[in-house]
């Protein structure tokens, strides 16, 4: 075994950076049982409260009876079921694109799309706060990797104007997963069109939550339902949609290229078709249950008001991701632990996920949270603030 592993792990632990898994013993919800204890949870991405919805549970049961449990083959061999095909058509229509392609995870979708579309003669321009999957995809593509400061479109414009790359791909989160803020999408699209660049937008945390009927960040009012042919749209199906998987939506030639060339699509077993059947029900609930997004919006407003007096400040975010900036990793871990002792789960986010000195508590809100849940969290944080 590599001799330095133990020492490296020990050093991570001393720095308060050692990650540990918790064992969940209940369905995902605002109230969970973990390691034998009940908790109020502010740590999942189940923004609409669909992960344990009875209609989805029933659809999984029906899907299993019709299709069995596993796909048992890749999409390209014998694992592309009718449920997958119907869902792809529904997702394309919902997102407003000609075609869509299912992937097992958002990570695989980003890796597959980027590496299939650009290579050594090309250039990728990436927001510095992008998700790790986008950064890894850029590195794997072997294209020139150019990062620009968060949301600095003037510098992006400048760097696009000086490249002589064959293909230019701009990659950006739509909602930044550790900040909670929304990318300036109309301006991003305009800069890309100016320089004949393609924009890959990762809407993992916007799909189902933002825009008309939860159709995502491209349907926000200031976007005017932007659907430039130069946009490639990725969204995940295990967050607001409450199930599992991801999809890429784009022009037909892009999707066909991914089918032919995206390794993370071609060389893996297809997701169980019963999940695709459940996602059709989820998509219907996302469209029709506007009350879920209304409750979520109310929860965001209430939390902001309740935490105003704390010595730590929330980052500016209008999304369910509400980061409470702490600073040092050890203090963030300490506050998270004290909340856990009070029966409240809020994760401490530390380097390397975020920059040094910007450790935070990442409060994730759901439509399932009640006003009393938010007050309980606020009161606990106020108590802790007097002690640290």
Read off the pLDDT of residues 60-116 as tens digits, 9 standing for 90 and up.
Answer: 999 999 999 999 999 999 999 999 999 999 999 999 999 999 999 999 999 999 999
Residue 161 main-chain phi, psi, to 5 deg:
-70, -20
Question: Which residues in the chain come in under a pLDDT of 70?
Answer: 224-226
Query: 13: Cβ–Cβ under 8 A, 6 or more apart, which residues?
Result: none
Residue with tokens 């029709």: 288
C-alpha pair distances (Å), 268 with each of 80, 82, 248, 272? 12, 18, 16, 12
Q: Do the annotations mark residue 107 as ligand-binding?
A: yes
Domain count, the chain: 2
- Whether 5 is covered by a domain: the verdict is no
In this structure, are 80 and 39 located in the same domain?
Answer: no
In this structure, are 313 and 261 located in the same domain?
Answer: no
Q: Do the annotations mark residue 353 as ligand-binding?
A: yes
Query: Of 232, 267, 288, which residue is a domain's last?
Result: 288
Q: Do the annotations mark residue 115 as ligand-binding?
A: no
Q: Do the annotations mark residue 297 as ligand-binding?
A: no
Predicted confidence at residue 101, as pLDDT, reads 98
- Whether 198 is covered by a domain: the verdict is yes
- Whether 12 is covered by a domain: the verdict is no
Which CATH number is 349's domain given? 3.90.1150.10
Q: Do the annotations mark residue 141 as ligand-binding?
A: no
Q: DSSP alpha helices (H): ranges in the chain?
A: 5-14, 54-67, 82-95, 106-117, 132-141, 153-161, 185-194, 252-261, 263-266, 273-288, 290-306, 329-341, 371-387
- Whether 212 is covered by a domain: the verdict is yes
Predicted confidence at residue 224, as pLDDT, reads 63
In this structure, are 67 and 143 located in the same domain?
Answer: yes
Q: Do the annotations mark residue 39 as ligand-binding?
A: no
Residue with tokens 């993370």: 264
Beta-sheet pairing, 31-34 with 37-41: antiparallel
In this structure, are 335 and 274 located in the same domain?
Answer: no
In this structure, are 299 and 164 located in the same domain?
Answer: no
Q: How many CB atoms lie within 10 A of CB 21?
A: 5
- Whether 10 is covered by a domain: the verdict is no
In this structure, are 117 and 206 located in the same domain?
Answer: yes
In this structure, are 281 and 333 located in the same domain?
Answer: no
Query: Of 266, 288, 310, which residue is a domain's last?
Result: 288
Predicted confidence at residue 226, as pLDDT, reads 67
In this structure, are 201 and 99 located in the same domain?
Answer: yes
CB 341 within 8 A of CB 380: no
Query: Of 219, 254, 288, which residue is a domain's last?
Result: 288
In this structure, are 39 and 66 located in the same domain?
Answer: no
CA 333 to chain centre: 23
CA–CA separation, 185 and 285 (whole Å):
26
CA–CA separation, 28 and 151 (whole Å):
33
Predicted confidence at residue 221, as pLDDT, reads 85
370-375 long-range contacts, CB within 8 A, separation 24+: 370/30, 371/299, 371/302, 373/30, 373/40, 374/299, 374/302, 374/303, 374/306, 375/306
- Enclosing H/E stretch for 200: strand 198-202
User: For 257-302, what is the HEC assignment?
Assistant: HHHHHCHHHHCCECCCHHHHHHHHHHHHHHHHCHHHHHHHHHHHHH
Residue 232 main-chain phi, psi, to 5 deg:
-115, 125
In this structure, are 42 and 67 located in the same domain?
Answer: no
- Whether 269 is covered by a domain: the verdict is yes
Q: Which domain holds residue 107?
A: 54-288
Q: Do the annotations mark residue 195 as ligand-binding?
A: no
Paired tokens of 184: 């300036």
In this structure, are 282 and 305 located in the same domain?
Answer: no
Predicted confidence at residue 12, as pLDDT, reads 86
Which CATH number is 91's domain given? 3.40.640.10
Beta-sheet pairing, 123-127 with 168-173: parallel
The pTM for the full model equals 0.95
- Whether 136 is covered by a domain: the verdict is yes
Q: Do the annotations mark residue 205 as ligand-binding?
A: yes
In this structure, are 159 and 211 located in the same domain?
Answer: yes
- Whether 38 is covered by a domain: the verdict is yes
CA 222 to chain centre: 21
Predicted confidence at residue 225, as pLDDT, reads 56
């Amino acid at each position: 075994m590599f001799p330095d592993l133990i020492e490296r792990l020990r050093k991570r632990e001393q720095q308060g950076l050692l990650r540990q898994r918790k064992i969940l013993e209940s369905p995902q919800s605002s109230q969970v049982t973990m390691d034998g204890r009940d908790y109020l949870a502010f740590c999942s991405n189940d923004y609409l409260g669909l992960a344990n919805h009875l209609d989805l549970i029933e659809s999984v049961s029906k899907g299993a009876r019709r299709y069995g449990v596993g796909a048992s083959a890749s999409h390209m061999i014998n694992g592309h079921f009718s449920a997958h095909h119907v869902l792809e058509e529904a997702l394309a229509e919902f997102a407003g694109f000609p075609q869509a392609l299912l992937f097992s995870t958002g990570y695989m979708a980003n890796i597959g799309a980027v590496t299939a579309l650009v290579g050594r003669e090309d250039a990728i321009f990436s927001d510095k706060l992008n998700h790790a999957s986008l950064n890894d995809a850029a590195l794997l593509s072997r294209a020139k990797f150019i990062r620009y400061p968060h949301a600095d479109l003037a510098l992006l414009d400048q760097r696009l104007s000086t490249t002589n790359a064959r293909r230019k791909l701009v990659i950006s989160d739509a909602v930044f997963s550790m900040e909670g803020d929304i990318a300036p999408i109309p301006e991003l699209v305009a800069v890309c069109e100016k320089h004949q660049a393609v924009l890959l937008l990762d809407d993992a945390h916007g799909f189902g939550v933002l825009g008309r009927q939860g159709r995502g960040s491209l349907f926000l009012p200031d976007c005017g339902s932007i659907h430039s042919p130069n946009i490639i749209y990725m969204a995940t199906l295990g967050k607001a949609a409450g199930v599992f998987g991801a999809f890429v939506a784009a022009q037909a030639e892009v999707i066909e290229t991914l089918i032919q060339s995206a390794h993370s699509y071609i060389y893996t077993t297809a997701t169980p078709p019963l999940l695709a059947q459940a996602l059709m029900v989820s998509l219907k609930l996302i469209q029709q249950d506007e009350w879920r997004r209304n409750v979520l919006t109310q929860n965001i407003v209430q939390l902001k008001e309740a935490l105003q007096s704390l010595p730590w400040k929330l980052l500016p975010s209008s999304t369910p991701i509400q980061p409470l900036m702490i600073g040092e990793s050890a203090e963030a871990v300490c506050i998270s632990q004290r909340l856990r002792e009070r029966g409240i789960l809020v994760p401490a986010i530390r380097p390397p996920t975020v920059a040094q000195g910007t450790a935070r508590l990442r409060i994730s809100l759901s439509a399932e949270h009640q006003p009393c849940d938010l007050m309980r969290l606020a009161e606990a944080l106020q108590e802790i603030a007097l002690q640290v």
